[in-house]
């Protein structure tokens, strides 16, 4: 096996606590933080979001001002005049401000993209004091007497709440639960604290810790809830909290001593986030994204009722600024683009429309343009990086704009491989529209992403958030951009213990959305279910059922200690199904490890379909772009459509990739999905990549029969040779390895062709087939043991029957 590290564990930090396992920074969905023997599931929303528009409001003790974060800076708004003054100006992203009790200081998070720390800013002198250990710090707040800063830190091995004395710098741990503890809010009299606790990866608690009684109890519990957050009344033991209701978030007030009876403050379709009390306790401020993903500062009565916007009427940036228009062109024509823009200090510039995202692999904030975007920037130089999908070179330019009142610049995006000219169309069959991120999207919001990534076909999948069934109003929706790129809603069925299945191209949803034995999700009416029922639901439909994110690490999943890495029912379903996909390329799993699983099925003559899906979240801030994992299908001279692309994918006339283009043929003209003869055969590979690729290989029946060094960034190279093919089986090509960079967002470059079959589709080599069957039988035995351990005495006849049928099919084909 090739040695690559486990993908997407956590943020890169200088800490041993967070940086031990990967070269990537993803914090989007349940990465496992390994430190001091603890496993912590850390969500990306626990970290600050870079926004356009006010977020994280905090009122001053005298009620005259309100601090907030916007565009990565801290601002102070004069509530009487509506004028806002910027008070920070570094390259980093500042967020979540809180006032000192005397109103003379602010404390907030500073996020440099690789680490977070705490800043305490003296507003009169501008002097900054920092708390920044070798681990993550989050959510600072002053104690009511002003002597301490309470904050979240990983210095104890998990993310707990600590406090530090501002004069002596003595530090002590306040909470010690496993998991993630943050959003500390102190009662005004100092007798207690409310905070948020993420236990495991799906159970979130709002807890009340009494310092006087020595108790620490949950006062509200929910499932996966990204934005559960509370604030404490300035004088009473009352809190305001934002709670999820299906696709929305609404505000409730709650007495910490009688928390079972919350009072709803906001109604209707609201996405009310980051609430805070006014200093007199009569109003509540919060932030809310609009239909263009721009944040607005809102206010409602402490007793509920109407909601009004608090307008920011003017801004004092503390420096001259001007407008710049950025145009992107490709082959002489205006082209949509993914853009990253930095000012002269390295601080990200954000647009006034559309979402803002963070690429954790490369440490870059980004957004999308339709080809022309106007930005407000400081005088001087800006650095712009532009791409348009995986097959374009990253164009990074630093331009000195001088002091002109308005400037227009043009960037050319170079395409290294024209997929359409060669008859190929691209598809990402697994990402999500909404998944509790800082935005609330509709399918039309995907259009800039599809065009900006030059992605022909996208399949955003409905998915449950614990028991919340997200995006149901959009089931079966389709959108098409003016450039002809298409998204078609599907569904990810989360039989969480049995393996997740993506249903691509469906017109109606499958029920139930989730099931299984784990305490992670509540049990439904019966646990006697099998993924085969999901596959039966897909029978006769035009889509493809695919096992998504199958193998997390670069391992041989069939080694005895690794068998549990295989989704419980994948082997059974692959053996017994005529059509089934496996997600080879995905942001959350490993391509080389998953390929080993795929090879065993191919070796017994099962033409399991190679699929690719980023598993990104269009409503998240910290997320890879859709199309970061994609499959290229050869549609020839046909105009690409949803139907003909998925038809070619099903036939295996494809390659999957996260960066390189890999065109493979045998005997001069036989391409993936086709049939070649046995014996001595010529083969050829055309490899093109915007990023460096270290290794290129030819694989026959799962074994490397030829290998070579790869290519540099922006290069194209042809490889050729002759191979003596056995009487049966398959041949394919793959390329991988090297440092990832834009336009890619995965942990290492990878591409793999679908197989070319020898003599006939489904043929086998006796030696390879025998070894594969032995491995698959071991996997089925392991699945049986795992199921018995998880389900105990519960009736699992459907699972058992399916497993036994698969064993019989394997053994009868000897």
pLDDT at residue 358 above 80? yes
pLDDT at residue 12 above 50? no
Residue with tokens 């900006």: 452
More confident residue, 246 or 688: 688
| Residue 159 DSSP symbol | B
Q: How far apart, in whole angstroms, are the C-alpha atoms of residue 747 and residue 162?
A: 33
pLDDT at residue 31 above 60? no
Residue 2 banded pLDDT, cuts 50, 70, 90 = very low
- For residues 166-202, one letter each, b for 16 or more C-beta atoms within 10 angstroms of the residue's C-beta and e for the rest, the string is beeeebeebbebbbbbbbbbbbeeeebbbbbbbbebb
**Concatenated DSSP letters for 27-85?**
-SS--EEEETTEEEE--GGGS----SS-EEEEE-TTSSEEEEEETTEEEEEETTT-EEE
Average pLDDT over residues 765-779: 98
- Reported as a single tens digit per residue, the pLDDT across 673-716 is 999 999 999 999 999 999 999 999 999 999 999 999 999 999 99
Query: What's the mean per-residue pLDDT of the chain?
Result: 92
pLDDT at residue 525 above 80? no
The helix (run of H) or strand (run of E) holding residue 767 is helix 766-791
CB atoms within 10 A of CB 82: 12
| Residue 671 DSSP symbol | -
What's the confidence (pLDDT) of residue 41? 64
Q: How far apart, in whole angstroms, are the C-alpha atoms of residue 805 and residue 799?
A: 10
Structure tokens at 633: 């299908």
Q: How far apart, in whole angstroms, are the C-alpha atoms of residue 593 and residue 693?
A: 18
φ, ψ at 124 (rounded to 5°): -85, -45
Rounded to the nearest angstrom, the gap between the alpha carbon of residue 541 and the centroid of all alpha carbons in its chain is 29
pLDDT at residue 28 above 70? no
| Extended strands (E) in 278-405 | 283-289, 295-301, 307-309, 314-316, 321-330, 333-334, 337-342, 357-359, 364-369, 372-378, 381-387, 395-400
pLDDT at residue 4 above 80? no
Q: How far apart, in whole angstroms, are the C-alpha atoms of residue 492 and residue 494?
A: 6
Could you check whether the bond before residue 684 is cis, i.e. omega within 30 degrees of 0?
no
Q: Of the ranges 82-91, 317-326, 520-529, which one carries the lowest mean pLDDT score?
A: 520-529
Question: Cα–Cα distances in Å, from 45 out to 433, 647, 713?
Answer: 16, 37, 33
**Which residues on neighbouring strands pair with residue 742, listed in sequence order?**
none
- Reported as a single tens digit per residue, the pLDDT across 445-491 is 999 999 999 999 999 999 998 888 999 999 989 999 999 999 999 99
The helix (run of H) or strand (run of E) holding residue 309 is strand 307-309
Residue 519 banded pLDDT, cuts 50, 70, 90 = low
CB atoms within 10 A of CB 145: 9
Residue 24 banded pLDDT, cuts 50, 70, 90 = very low
What's the confidence (pLDDT) of residue 268? 82
CB atoms within 10 A of CB 327: 17
Structure tokens at 128: 């900054």
The radius of gyration of the chain's CA atoms, rounded to the nearest angstrom, is: 27
Q: Are 650 and 428 in contact (CB under 8 A)?
A: no
Rounded to the nearest angstrom, the gap between the alpha carbon of residue 12 and the centroid of all alpha carbons in its chain is 16
| Extended strands (E) in 355-473 | 357-359, 364-369, 372-378, 381-387, 395-400, 406-412, 424-431, 457-465, 468-470
Q: How far apart, in whole angstroms, are the C-alpha atoms of residue 739 and residue 745?
A: 10
Return the C-alpha torsion angle 587, 588, 592, 598, nearest 10: -100
Query: Hey, is 771 helix, strand or coil?
Result: helix
pTM of this prediction? 0.94
Q: How far apart, in whole angstroms, are the C-alpha atoms of residue 660 and residue 581?
A: 21
- Reported as a single tens digit per residue, the pLDDT across 299-333 is 999 999 999 999 999 999 999 999 999 999 999 99
pLDDT at residue 18 above 80? no
What's the confidence (pLDDT) of residue 448? 98
Residue 814 banded pLDDT, cuts 50, 70, 90 = low
pLDDT at residue 372 above 90? yes
What's the confidence (pLDDT) of residue 40? 60
Nearest to 751 by CA among 651, 649, 662: 662
**Concatenated DSSP letters for 566-628?**
S-TTHHHHHHH-SS-EEEEE-TTS-HHHHHHHHHHHHHTT--PEEEE----BTT-SB-PPTTS
In the chain, % of residues over pLDDT 70: 94
Q: Which stretches within 75-193 are classed as H helix?
A: none
Question: Cα–Cα distances in Å, from 585 out to 612, 646, 657, 714, 768?
Answer: 5, 17, 7, 21, 24
Q: Are 685 and 662 in contact (CB under 8 A)?
A: yes
């Amino acid at each position: 096996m090739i040695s690559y590290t486990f993908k997407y564990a956590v943020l890169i930090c200088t800490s041993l606590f967070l940086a031990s396992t990967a070269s990537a920074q993803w914090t989007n969905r349940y990465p496992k933080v390994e430190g001091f023997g603890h496993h912590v599931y850390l969500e990306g929303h626990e970290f600050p979001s870079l926004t356009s528009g006010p977020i994280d409001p905090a009122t001053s003790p005298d009620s005259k001002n309100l601090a907030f974060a916007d565009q990565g800076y801290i601002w102070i708004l004069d509530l009487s005049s509506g004028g806002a003054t910027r008070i920070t100006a570094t390259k980093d992203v500042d967020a979540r401000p809180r006032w000192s009790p005397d109103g003379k200081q602010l404390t907030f998070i500073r996020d440099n993209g690789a680490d977070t720390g705490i800043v305490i800013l003296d507003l009169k002198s501008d002097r900054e004091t920092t708390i920044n250990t070798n681990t993550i710090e989050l959510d600072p707040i002053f104690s009511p007497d002003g002597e301490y800063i309470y904050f979240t830190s990983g210095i104890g091995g998990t993310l707990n709440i600590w406090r530090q004395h501002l004069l002596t710098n003595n530090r002590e741990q306040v909470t010690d639960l496993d998991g993630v503890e943050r959003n500390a809010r102190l009662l005004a009299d100092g007798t207690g604290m409310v905070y948020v606790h993420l236990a495991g990866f799906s159970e979130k608690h709002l807890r009340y810790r009494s310092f006087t009684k020595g108790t620490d109890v949950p006062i509200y519990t929910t499932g996966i809830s990204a934005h559960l957050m509370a604030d404490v009344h300035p004088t009473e033991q009352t809190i305001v909290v934002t709670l999820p209701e299906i696709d929305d978030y609404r505000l409730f007030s709650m007495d910490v001593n009688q928390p079972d009876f919350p009072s709803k403050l906001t109604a209707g379709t609201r996405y009310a986030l980051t609430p805070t009390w006014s200093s007199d306790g009569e109003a509540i401020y919060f932030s809310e994204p609009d239909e263009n993903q721009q944040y607005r500062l809102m206010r409602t009565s402490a007793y509920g009722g109407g909601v009004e916007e608090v307008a920011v009427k003017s801004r004092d940036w503390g420096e001259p600024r001007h407008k710049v228009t950025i145009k992107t062109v490709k082959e002489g024509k205006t082209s949509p683009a993914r853009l990253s823009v930095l000012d002269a200090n390295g601080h990200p510039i954000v647009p006034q429309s559309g979402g803002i995202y963070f690429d954790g692999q490369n440490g870059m904030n980004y957004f999308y343009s339709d080809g022309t975007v106007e930005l407000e920037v400081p005088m001087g130089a800006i650095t712009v990086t532009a791409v348009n999908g995986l097959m374009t070179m990253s164009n990074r330019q630093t331009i000195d704009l001088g002091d002109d009142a308005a400037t227009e610049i043009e960037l050319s995006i170079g395409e290294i491989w024209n997929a359409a000219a060669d008859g190929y169309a691209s598809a990402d069959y697994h990402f999500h529209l909404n998944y509790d991120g800082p935005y609330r999207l509709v399918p039309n919001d995907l259009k800039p992403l599809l065009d900006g990534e030059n992605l022909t076909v996208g399949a955003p999948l409905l998915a449950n958030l614990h028991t919340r069934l997200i995006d149901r109003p959009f089931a079966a929706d389709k959108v098409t951009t003016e450039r002809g790129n298409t998204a078609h809603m599907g569904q990810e069925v989360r039989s969480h213990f049995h393996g997740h299945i993506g249903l691509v191209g469906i017109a109606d949803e499958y029920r139930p959305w989730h099931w299984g034995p784990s305490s992670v999700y509540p049990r439904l009416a019966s646990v006697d279910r099998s993924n085969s029922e999901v596959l039966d639901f897909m029978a006769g439909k035009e889509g493809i059922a695919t096992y998504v994110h199958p193998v997390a690490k670069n391992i041989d999943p069939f080694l005895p200690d690794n068998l549990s890495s295989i989704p419980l029912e994948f082997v059974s379903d692959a053996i017994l199904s005529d059509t089934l996909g496996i997600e080879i390329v995905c942001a959350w799993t490993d391509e080389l490890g998953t390929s080993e699983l795929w090879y065993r099925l191919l070796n017994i003559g099962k033409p399991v379909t190679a699929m690719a899906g980023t598993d990104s979240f269009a409503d998240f801030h910290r997320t890879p772009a859709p199309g970061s994992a994609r499959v290229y299908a050869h549609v020839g001279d046909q105009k690409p459509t949803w139907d003909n692309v998925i038809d070619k994918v099903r036939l295996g006339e494809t390659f999957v990739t996260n960066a390189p283009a890999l065109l493979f043929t045998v005997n001069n003209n036989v391409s993936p999905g086709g049939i070649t003869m046995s014996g001595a055969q010529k083969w050829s590979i055309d490899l093109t990549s915007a990023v460096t690729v270290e290794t290129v290989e030819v694989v026959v029946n799962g074994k490397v029969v030829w290998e070579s060094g790869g290519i540099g960034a922006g290069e194209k190279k042809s490889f050729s040779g002759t191979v003596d093919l056995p009487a049966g089986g398959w041949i394919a090509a793959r390329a991988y390895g090297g440092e990832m960079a834009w336009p890619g967002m995965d942990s290492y470059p990878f591409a793999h062709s679908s197989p070319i079959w020898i003599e006939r589709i489904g043929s086998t080599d006796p030696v390879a087939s025998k070894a594969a069957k032995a491995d698959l039988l071991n996997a089925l035995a392991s699945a049986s043991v795992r199921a018995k351990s998880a389900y105990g005495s519960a009736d699992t006849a459907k699972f058992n029957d399916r497993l036994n049928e698969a064993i019989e099919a394997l053994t009868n084909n000897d």
